[in-house]
Amino acid sequence: MCYKRAVILPIVQAGDSVLRVPARPLSLDEIQSPTIQQLIADMRETMRAAPGVGLAAPQIGLGLQLAVIEDAPEYQANATAAELAERERAVVPFQVIINPVLTLEPGTPIEFFEGCLSVDGWMAIVPRAAAVRVEALDENGRDVRITARGWHARILQHEIDHLHGTLCIDRMDPRTLSSHANYSKLWRGHSIEEVRAALQAPSR
């Protein structure tokens, strides 16, 4: 079967209602259809062009329970070894999750700055579970079970939130909201405790 060349799609920004409505699940027939297979290719291209480590269908204007994820080596090239270790961040090959069910593992939430392609230009401290389990379907409609820790777990939580109409700004500490430029200039390399102290943001 021949598909069109993948295209870069516009990314919807905060304020659009599609980001606030729970997405609907996809049937097996839909998943295997040329339309959804083409959409997956387009979402992969869009995510890589942004660039980002994840993209959910509502972010390109479609209320479908579908997300793509990839944390490629080149995305980690500017991070120090200490930053990668602190975030428990490792390479995540391209993966598709459809109709995912998320289970948070017990434990103390982990806080880091987090951004979103649909809240372009801004970051804030967001608490997330350190480890998760996800049951979903892959791009072929097959059952997949994902166990993840650290940054991969954060990405999964972020993208699955999108499928339920939730943005990271709903979970953020609002006093830590920062432009990307100010994060790089002022806060990168500082501990969360130092950032909170400087911004007078109480610990949660």
Flag whether 139 is in a domain: yes
> What pLDDT digit, counting tens, does each position of 122-166 carry?
999 999 999 999 999 999 999 999 999 999 999 999 999 999 999
Let me know if 159 is a catalytic residue: yes
Determine, yes or no, domain membership for 11.
Answer: no
107 contacts 177 by C-beta, under 8 angstroms: no
* Active-site annotation holder among 111, 114, 139, 159: 159
Residue 181 lies in a domain: yes
Q: How far is CA 167 from CA 151, 161, 173, in A?
A: 17, 7, 13
Pairing of strands 110-115, 122-128: antiparallel
Question: Which CATH number do you get for residue 158?
Answer: 3.90.45.10
Answer whether residue 50 is part of any domain: yes
Residue range(s) defining the domain that contains residue 96: 17-199
Is residue 8 in a domain? no
Q: Which two tokens stand for residue 109?
A: 């939430």
Total of domains in the chain: 1
pTM: 0.94
Q: Which residues contact 194 (CB under 8 A, 6 or more apart)?
A: none
pLDDT tens string 99-109: 999 999 999 99
